[in-house]
Structure 1
Amino acid sequence: MKFSHSIQFNAVPDWSSHYIAYSNLKKLIYSLEKQLHQKAGASTQDPENSPLLDSSVEDPDKVFTNALDRELENICSFYQLKELEIFGEIEALIHDEENFEGELDEAEAEGVPALQRSKSSAGRPRSGSLWQSITTGGGGNRRRTSTLSRSERGFDGEEEEYDSDNDANEESRLQKSRSKDGTKGYERRQTDDMRSEMRSTRRRASQASYDYHDMMGSVLYDSSVTLRKRTISQYVATCELRSFIQLNKTGFSKVLKKYDKILDRNLKNSYIDQFVLPAHPFQKDTMDKLSEYLEKVEGIYAKIVTAGDIAAAKRELRLHLREHVVWERNTVWREMIGIERKSQAANMGIRQTMLGRDNDPRKARLQGDEAEVEMKMVRTPLGRYHCPKWLFSSTFYILIAVIAIFLVLLLVPIMEKREQQNCLAMVVFVSLLWATEAIPLFVTSLLVPFLAVVLRVVRSDDKPHHRLESKPAATYVFAAMWTPVIMLLLGGFTIAAALSKYNIAKMMATFVLSKAGTKPRVVLVTNMFVAMFASMWISNVAAPVLCYSIIQPILRNLPSDSNMSKALLLGIALSSNIGGAASPIASPQNLIALQNMSPQPGWGIWFFIALPICIISIILIWVLLLVTFQPGKGTTIVPIRQMKDKFTGIQWFITGVTIVTIALWCVSHQLEGIFGDMGVVAIIPIVLFFGTGILTKEDFNNFLWTIIILAAGGLALGKSVNSSGLLHTIAGSITQEVEGMSLYGVLVVFCALILVVATFISHTVAALIVLPLVQQVGQSMSEPHPNLLVMGSVLMCSAAMGLPTSGFPNMTAIMMEDSHTGQRYLQVQHFITRGVPASIITFAVVISVGYGLMRAAGM
């Protein structure tokens, strides 16, 4: 959780204006950063202006220190007031408790039955002598503190009349007290027990009006209730005061650390040592005094409630503290969570708009747990009915149309064999659901094994014309969903999680970017190659997020309409897309390609083909962005600073395991006698990282399991289509159409086809649908080259980037907003005018340079 949120969650609501203004100080830091770099940029461009700028812009250390001084003064003055108030109330509580003990001893000496102190309930304070309260009707002055809970406030001002002659009146008084008292159920039961005991005592006593002993017992009982409530209240207040100190001390540390990091200063240690730690609230003596008063309060509670048991008193007081937090701050938590949910819902709403899914029935879930599904009234001849509004959305109509097509394909004979007919209907049905996203992608994948078994599309490998029964078909299909490719995907996720969690990827990225300098064109191309390299190892989903977080200082200090901002964001997105082809674990479609290649190429061959294509494509796209955006005009770049943290032992261990794993993947073919498959090698980082505690089960749960299910469903679909014979039949028909075309011509046709398909639907989905067909066509050619066609096609999957919805990097880029204006940096036309040409450039590189490299590699 961000500290700006944490301080709001944990702050005492009544004291909120007296905590450190962490968010405002962060804004001041960004403002100083912008002023500093504007001054530096203007001085560089026009030296004559530098003296003027020097006199107009104050020293940032002085400005920030003055702001911190104001916050520190506010905190100290408030703390001193609250300390005097709370400690004074505790001293008064100690004095009243001593009086209560004396009056209790006096009452016992005069023959009044002793109170059972362990059964006393919570109450409110009444000042003055205990005996004075009976002569004045229980009035007197009452203390109020800002930390009392609502239940305690409800008890304030209660006046009771005691009548020992009439039990009915006594019961009425008890009901009134219970309705006003906000204590918990067990306390009410204890109160009832005590009152019942007192009534029994009074019944045995004289029935004369205003019996002396009865009145004395009632006063003592109410006094014990009052003291207990006062003790709980002072315990809560003291704990909140201690939390006030801790939160503010952490706030100073964090905001100074951010200041030093962003403005490249070294102010934190000196300011904390000279100003924060010597201040009264943060001195060690202050914390010791707080602890001392907490012990006094615990001692009072132990005397009144737990018969001297300090440990039991601490347990009960902590329970009351937790209940107080729940009641008093529940509203703050709800408001903060509501703000977060609304923010997420707004962001998802923009993405839905980009995807053309404004009427998506799933949108209702984005509003949080408290959202209700919108209803619509429908008039029918039988009356009016309220139906969910999503039943009338375009997505629902699309789903109905897809189901109708599925049923038609099942009934209308197209293929000669029944299993192929059913398989064709299944393939079209699943492909349309994937393409339209009428239901979530991974849910569609889970339909594949269900339909494959129910429709009996699977045939025996030993007897090609024998359809398997449901039980062996289920075993066959589920075996296809868990292959070494899925294990390789898990290994890739594990390496990516470790590199991200321990900042290894960020440290490497900032090291490279810190060398780029301040020339716009150099900064642009460096960021593009860093994004490509990051995509190779932490996936092209996480890479743009990492890169965008690193370049935030650059974006903050550029004008909102700067062409450099647009070029930088778009360059990172396009490079991340291309980087998704640079290694087998960079994206799921690469693993699907490996599943459709026999023999599977090793990592060395993959790098030999993919890296030159990626590097050449990125250089050409960089030139395209320079020509179209011209980002160097009037642009001042803030240099990226390298992270100063040194590599720890854990980081060296993670790096070593990663390098060894990648090396084993590169030579996997030479080690088949030992490991058998790359998926077995992927177990090494999983065991070492999770077994040593470097990664936890929470990290494991955070894996992109939807992607894994999607890939598993695609593998099951490919296996089913191949087993049914449908793939062979379709591939034979396509082979006849391309008969006479050269291998190069077929490659161009398939690369163009998959480029168009992957532009409009997910890259992974395009690979799931097209790659098995490409493999079969390549296998059926007179000169079989299936691996070459599959490799070329999967490279083009990653090159499809002409629309904002063409891949995760593009979606992430278009969501980036200017922190000052809230406007998005990029629009749809930026992707069409730059993304489409970039896709065409990559297409040309794949069918030229890529074709030559694939032939040289022996494909």
Structure 2
Amino acid sequence: MKFTHQLKFNSVPEWREHYINYTHLKKYIYALAKKEADLQAGGQLTDEENLYSPLLQDATRAEQGPTEEGFQRELDVQLAAILSFFAVKEADLLAKVSELELDVQSLEKIPNRQEASLLSRLGSEPPPGTPQGGAAPGGPLAASPSTLDLARMVATTPPEEHRRVRVKFWENPPRHVFSTSSLHARRAKLQGRFQDLYISLHDLREYLHINKEGFRKIIKKHDKLTRSVDLRARWWPNVEAHLAPATKQQELDRAIAALTDHYAVLYMGGDVSRASEELSHGLREHITVERNTVWRDMAAMERKYAAVSVKQAAGAAGAGRSSYIRWLKLAASCLVFALLLHVEVWPGEANRPRNNCLALLVFASMLWSLEAVPLFVTSMGLPLLIVCLGVLVEPGGSGQRMTPQQAAPAIFHAMFSQTIMLLLGGFAIAAALSKHAIAKQAAVAILSRVGRKPAHVLLAAMFTATFASMWISNVAAPVLCFGLIQPILRTLDPGHPFAKALVMGIALASNVGGMTSPISSPQNIFAIERMSMDGRPPSWLAWFAVALPVSIACNFLCWFLLLRVYQPGRAIAEVRPIKPNTDPVNGTQVYIVVVSLLTVAAWCANTFLQRYTGEMGVIAVVPLVAFFGFDVLNKDDFNSFLWNVVMLAMGGLSLGEAVKSSGLLEALAHDISDLVTGLSLWQVALIFSGLVLVATTFISHTVGAMVILPIVQSVGEAMAGGHPHPKLLVMAAALMCSGAMGLPVSGFPNMNAVSIEDATGNAIVNTADFLRVGVPSSIAAYGIIVSVGYVLMLAVGF
């Protein structure tokens, strides 16, 4: 293996910038060799020599091309940087080891040997009746000796006996120190710190080896390609003097030995060899994950710049069968489409737009659900079909169908809405947070507080998505949250159940988050508008009183369903912790956080700012300009946006406009409203919530709310018995809009979820995942809204 690849595979990702810059030094050597060859040939330096100048540091550009002195200065600078980084990391890790030892001693209530010896020299004598081994009569430490007693026992015993006393302490700790449950919790927390420090110490020791090997390789290459100076004799002693294991690794080895000894006492009954074996096993697992992650990162870079696709191998027969099934799905969808075009559900030529739109809705839904073609391809074909089928009707109630010349600009106007700008603004914030390691630090902060169990991490990710949706809308929130879990997804194998559970969990939780506040989704804004027709708009507190319990219950049900379907606990015992970035916060990161927080605050205050900005989509321009205009992001980052999601969203908006303009959804809603005459309030809520669930599963939640909510309000006002409840019905319908999440096109969080890919280019979730999890989750949300939500809405007076 070339050393360049060896360096990539064996370096710690967080320290990558602090290793030897092997590629740069190689290019410098090639420039030296070329210069030497040109001079030996008797010629002058050619213009081609200038090609090497961008590869060299500024210190060499002032000279006449590359020189041996400049190359040795490069070596000195890189060696000094490596030693400086090593010194900082070593001091930091040794301080953490000392802190861990102090924490262990504090828990044991046993002083270290030096403190015990000091107490002994002060005149203390072993307590009467105490055996030499440190166990009081009646069993190991049964008498719960005091700290001074333990100090006396430990002072006169060798290290092996000292370890035995500590082992007995942990086997039967005194009750006055802590309870059994408290002991278990503290030991479990300490165990993770032991493993992390053990891995970091070995990483730092390997850091010396790999950099020393890099200098050896580069000097060997220099002496092979150039003959002017023998660096092996002149400069290699610097490496031996500063990177020799005997001089640099003593403190690290002592720290590793101390960690292993403490680990043996706390978890292995004093068996040091078993402790070393278990810690080494964790180290090997860590190295495997790190190398797999590096491989996936390299594959992702290849895909990004060379359009390379990595797919699992399949036999010719399997590939042929898959292609046959795909064509069969497409043929079946087209056949159903052709048949529906000739069926008149609503008779008469005036209703032709509605009939055509129904056929188009079924056709698009079949293509999306069967995935006969990629989801975004179906969306791209919708504008063509909408215009050619004459689905759009002129506004104003005339019923006149638009001509193609009128329909084309109308449908393109509907496709690019403020929602698309919100999506792009969310992409910009997510890209900046991810590129500059802010998202990773947020993930570390969250996961460090919820433990490592997959079920707990999944629940934390879901409630984070719901909370974010509560304040920045469920369009931008999932984009940010998918960025937060990327560090975890990168360490999981393709197709891993936990990866599916995480992506699906954030999508479902973001949909549920659309219920939580009046600004969390556009349909809530429309609902507030309809509920304010009597001059008494609902307060935010009343909305929270209903929406928060409903969303929390929905989240827990979705979480339980994800655990049952994917069973992540069987596939992975614990989530590997993400290493925190210990580099200091820089100005760019502060700038990103400030811009992001200001954008989120403006979104939250949109009700007050809309007189100046008009719509939330205008505010989304702020992060785009702030990040791309000031070199936080570049054009490559812009090109890497999820444009397939944008096209998918545009297709959903175009279909929603067609359903609205043709009068199809209005006709369906009115037909159902005729059936609810004479029914009770709960029965009406049940029926309309079911209608909303079915409709908004296939079309935009926003469009469904715009069309259905006015009808729901009118039905509520006309309720018999003199007790109208239009606000209750409107809010139930609005909540159900967010609860419809059965297909990839059911809301923007789902569209984002199906676009998430692993490093090999394969989608993490697909339509089958939404059918398995999204449909039952939608039904569960429906049940909660018409039961718990219904009772709460009556309680607050809606």
Alignment TM-score, normalising by the size of structure 2: 0.53
**Would you say the 8 A contact 1:732–1:777 is kept in 2?**
yes
1:673 equivalent in structure 2: 611
Shift, 1:510, TM fit: 0.5
Q: Which residue of 2 aligns with 1:581?
A: 511
Q: Is the 8 A contact 1:592 1:711 kept in 2?
A: no
Aligned equivalents of 2:772 and 2:366: distance in 1?
28
One-letter code of the match for 1:547? I
Match of 1:346 in 2: 311
Counterpart contact for 2:333–2:363, Cα < 8 Å = no
Aligned to 2:97: none
Q: SS at the partner of 1:671?
A: helix
Paired position in structure 2 for 1:792:
735
CA distance in 2 between counterparts of 1:277 and 1:816 reads: 28
Q: 2:204 aligns with which of 248, 267, 274?
A: 267
Residue of structure 1 equivalent to 2:421: 487
Q: Secondary structure at the match of 1:581?
A: helix
Change (3 A) 1:275 1:426: closer
Question: 1 CA distance for matches of 2:677 and 2:585?
Answer: 58
- With over 3 angstroms needed to count, the CA separation of the structure-2 counterparts of 1:284 and 1:487, relative to structure 1, is same
Amino acid at match of 2:450: A
**Cα offset for 1:508?**
0.9
The residue aligned with 1:684 is 622
Selected match of 1:725 from 642, 654, 663:
663
Against the structure 1 CA distance between its residues 277 and 412, is the aligned structure 2 distance closer, same or farther, given a 3 Å change threshold? closer
Q: 1:719 to 1:273 in 2, by over 3 A?
A: closer
Please give the residue correspondences for 1:63-102 in structure 2 after superposition, counting only pairs within 5 Å.
none
Cα distance in 2 for residues equivalent to 1:593 and 1:635: 40
CA 1:777 to 1:429, structure 2 compared with 1: closer, same or farther past 3 Å? Answer: farther
Counterparts of 1:408 and 1:634 in 2: how far apart (Å)?
53
Residue number among 772, 784, 791 corresponding to 1:845 in the alignment = 784
Q: Distance in 2 between matches of 1:429 and 1:623?
A: 33
Tell me how far 1:807 sits from its aligned partner: 4.7
Give the whole-Å Cα distance in 1 for the aligned partners of 2:422 and 2:770: 32
Superposition map of 1:104-253 within 5 A? none
User: In structure 2, how many angstroms separate the alpha carbons of the residues matched to 1:836 and 1:407?
Assistant: 28
Instruction: Sort the Cα spacing of 1:543 and 1:634 in 2 relative to 1 into closer, same or farther, 3 A.
Output: closer
Correspondence for 1:281: 218
CA drift of 1:504 comes to: 1.9
Distance in 2 (CA, whole Å) between partners of 1:524 and 1:444 is: 32
Would you say 1:427 and 2:392 are equivalent positions? no
How far does residue 531 in structure 1 lie from its aligned partner after superposition? 5.8
Q: How many equivalent residue pairs?
A: 566
**Pairing 1:706–2:644 present:** yes
Separation (CA, whole Å) in 2 of partners of 1:831 and 1:722: 26
Q: Does 1:650 align with 2:582?
A: no
Aligned pairs for 1:617-632 (under 5 A) are 617-619=554-556
Mapped partners of 2:404, 2:768: distance in 1: 51
CA shift at 1:731, angstroms?
Answer: 1.7
> Which residue is equivalent to 1:21?
6
Deviation, structure 1 residue 580: 1.8
Q: Secondary structure at the match of 2:398?
A: coil
**Greater displacement, 645-654 / 424-433:** 424-433
Task: Give distance in 1, aligned partners of 2:589 and 2:37.
Answer: 56
The structure 1 residue matched to 2:438, chosen from 490, 499, 504, is 504
1:599 counterpart (510, 520, 529): 529
Question: Structure 1 CA distance, aligned partners of 2:436 and 2:515?
Answer: 20
Deviations, residues 611-650 of structure 1 (Å, cap 9, x unaligned): 5544444445556778996959995775544332333222
Contact 1:544-1:812 at 8 Å conserved across structures = no
Q: Is the 8 A contact 2:754 2:764 kept in 1?
A: no
Quickly say closer, same or farther: Cα 1:807–1:474, change in 2 above 3 A.
closer
Alignment deviations for residues 681-711 of structure 1 (CA, whole Å, 9 cap, x no partner):
2222222222223233333333333333333
Residue of structure 1 equivalent to 2:294: none
Q: Secondary structure at the match of 2:622?
A: helix
Q: Which residue identity lines up with residue 700 of structure 1 in the other structure?
A: F
585 and 418 in structure 1: CA distance in 2 versus 1, 3 angstrom threshold: same
Partner of 1:393: 327
- Contact between 1:581 and 1:590, CA under 8 Å: does it hold in 2? no
| Structure 1: distance between partners of 2:586 and 2:416 | 36
- 1:394 alignment partner AA: L
Question: 1:653 Cα shift?
Answer: 2.0
The answer to whether the 8 Å contact 1:664/1:681 transfers is yes
CA distance in 2, matches of 1:451, 1:826: 28
Structure 1 residue 509 displacement after superposition: 1.2
Runs of 5+ in structure 1 lacking a partner? 1-15, 31-67, 102-117, 119-234, 294-332, 362-388, 818-823
Which amino acid in structure 2 is aligned with residue 21 of structure 1? Q
Tell me the secondary structure at the aligned position of residue 606 of structure 2.
coil
The change in CA–CA distance for 1:647 and 1:747 in structure 2 (over 3 A counts) is: farther
Look up the SS of the partner of 1:474 in the other structure.
helix
- TM-aligned CA distance change 1:674 to 1:704, over 3 Å: same
Residue identity matched to 1:656: V
Query: Following the alignment from structure 1 to structure 2, what is the Cα–Cα distance between the partners of residues 551 and 850?
Result: 35
* Greater Cα shift, 610-619 or 261-270: 261-270
What displacement does 1:457 show?
Answer: 3.5
For the Cα contact (< 8 Å) 1:545–1:812, is it kept in 2?
no
Contact 1:727 1:776 in 2 (8 A): no
The residue that corresponds to 1:189 in the other structure is none
Q: Which has the larger radius of gyration?
A: 1
CA contact (8 A) 2:391 2:658 kept: yes
In structure 2, what is the equivalent of residue 300 of structure 1? none
Shift of 1:809: 8.5
- Return the alpha-carbon distance in structure 1 between the equivalents of residues 305 and 672 of structure 2: 52
Q: 1:706 to 1:639 in 2, by over 3 A?
A: closer
- Indicate conservation of the 8 Å contact 1:245/1:281, yes or no: no
Deviations 1:464-513 (A, max 9, x none): 23444443333433332333333333323332222222222221111121
Residues 380-529 of structure 1 mapped to structure 2, 5 A cutoff: 393-409=327-343, 413=347, 417-517=351-451, 525-529=459-463
Task: Say if 1:673 and 1:620 are closer, same or farther in 2 by CA, change over 3 A.
Answer: same
Question: Following the alignment from structure 1 to structure 2, what is the Cα–Cα distance between the partners of residues 685 and 339?
Answer: 24
Q: 1:474 to 1:754 in 2, by over 3 A?
A: same
Query: Is 1:660 paired with 2:625?
Result: no
Task: Give the partner amino acid of 1:572.
Answer: L
1:488–1:679 Cα contact (<8 Å) kept: yes
Separation in structure 2 between the aligned mates of residue 669 and residue 675 of structure 1, nearest angstrom: 10
1:718/1:495 Cα in 2 relative to 1: closer, same or farther (>3 Å)?
A: same
Secondary structure at the residue paired with 2:608?
A: coil
Partner of residue 270, structure 2: none
Deviations along 1:338-376, whole A, 9 cap, x unmatched? 9999984525989xx9xxx98565xxxxxxxxxxxxxxx
Identity rate, percent: 29
Structure 1 436/349 Cα, relative in aligned 2: closer, same or farther at 3 Å? farther
- 1:511-567: CA deviations, max 9, x gaps? 1212334577655644554565577686546745742633777x79xxx99xxx96x
Alpha-carbon offset, residue 842 of structure 1:
4.2
* Compared CA separation, residues 775 and 575, structure 1 to 2 (3 A): same
Shift in CA distance, 592/436, structure 1 to aligned 2, threshold 3 Å: farther
Q: Post-superposition shift, 1:576?
A: 0.9
TM-score (ref. length: structure 1):
0.50
Instruction: Verify the 8 A CA contact 1:675 1:681 in the aligned structure 2.
Output: yes
Taking a change above 3 Å as real, the CA distance of residues 838 and 426 of structure 1, as seen in their structure-2 partners, is closer
One-letter code aligned to 1:705? W
Q: Which amino acid aligns with 1:499?
A: L
1:572 corresponds to which residue? 502
